[in-house]
C-alpha cells in the first residue's frame, strides 16, 4: 500500500468513501436519502478546488492500483471560506434550510473525513493515513491536528487515542454528540 495526494480524477471513488463516513450528513445536505444524488454532490465538490471536500485537501491510500482509503484535512481557520461554496450550492439546489455547526476553528489542522473501504478494514490503512497527516502537519510543520469522533464510535476513538490524540472538549455536530480530540507535539 502507498499513500499519495488525491487528484481530481479520484473524485468518484473518494465520494463513495466519504459516504461511508458521513452518509446521514450528506442526506441532510440534499434533503433526501438518495445515495446516487449524495455521491454526485460529493464528487462534484471533490473534483473542484477551494472547498472543504476538494481533492486538494485529501490523501488517498492505494492498494493494487485502487483507492481503498481517504483522509480529508484542512486548516481549521479556513473552515468558513472552504465551506461557503458547499453551503451556497446546497441552499440553491437542494436544501435551502440546511444549517450546520462549526466543527473546527483556527489553531488546528482539521481531519474532516477518514474512511477506508469496507473490504479493506483491519489492514491498518486508517492508521497509515492518520500517520501521513500526523507526520506532515504535526512533526514537520509543528501544527495541532484535530478531529471529532462520535461518542458512540468506540473503535474510532480507540484508534485515535492509540496514536496519541487527547480529548480537549465536546461538541454537537448535526445532532450527534462528539468528542473533540487533538494531537499536539
What CATH number is associated with residue 40?
3.40.630.30
- pTM exceeding 0.95: yes
Nearest to 18, CA basis, from 51, 1, 81:
51
Q: Which residue has the cell 495541532?
A: 144
**104 half-sphere exposure, CB direction, 13 A CA radius:** 28
**pLDDT in the model for residue 96:** 87
Tell me the residue range of the domain where 158 lies: 2-183
Residues 6+ apart with CB under 8 A from 132: 3, 59, 71
Tally of domains within the chain: 1
Query: Phi and psi at residue 32, in whole multiples of 5°?
Result: -160, 160
Which parts of the chain have pLDDT scores under 50? none
Amino acid at each position: 500500500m502507498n499513500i499519495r495526494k488525491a487528484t481530481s480524477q479520484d473524485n468518484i471513488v473518494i465520494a463513495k468513501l466519504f459516504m461511508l463516513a458521513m452518509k446521514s450528513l450528506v442526506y441532510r445536505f440534499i434533503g433526501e436519502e438518495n445515495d446516487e444524488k449524495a455521491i454526485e454532490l460529493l464528487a462534484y465538490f471533490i473534483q473542484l478546488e477551494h472547498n472543504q471536500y476538494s481533492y486538494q485537501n485529501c490523501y488517498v491510500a492505494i492498494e493494487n492500483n485502487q483507492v481503498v482509503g481517504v483522509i480529508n484535512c484542512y486548516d481549521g481557520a479556513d473552515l468558513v471560506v472552504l465551506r461557503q461554496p458547499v453551503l451556497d450550492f446546497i441552499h440553491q439546489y437542494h436544501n435551502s434550510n440546511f444549517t450546520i455547526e462549526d466543527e473546527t476553528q483556527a489553531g488546528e489542522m482539521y481531519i474532516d473525513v477518514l474512511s477506508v473501504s469496507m473490504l479493506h478494514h483491519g489492514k491498518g490503512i486508517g492508521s497509515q493515513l492518520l500517520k501521513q497527516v500526523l507526520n506532515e502537519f504535526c512533526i514537520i510543520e509543528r501544527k495541532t491536528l484535530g478531529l471529532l469522533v462520535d461518542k458512540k464510535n468506540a473503535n474510532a476513538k480507540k484508534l485515535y487515542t492509540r496514536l496519541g490524540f487527547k480529548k480537549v472538549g465536546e461538541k454537537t455536530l448535526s445532532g450527534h454528540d462528539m468528542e473533540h480530540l487533538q494531537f499536539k507535539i
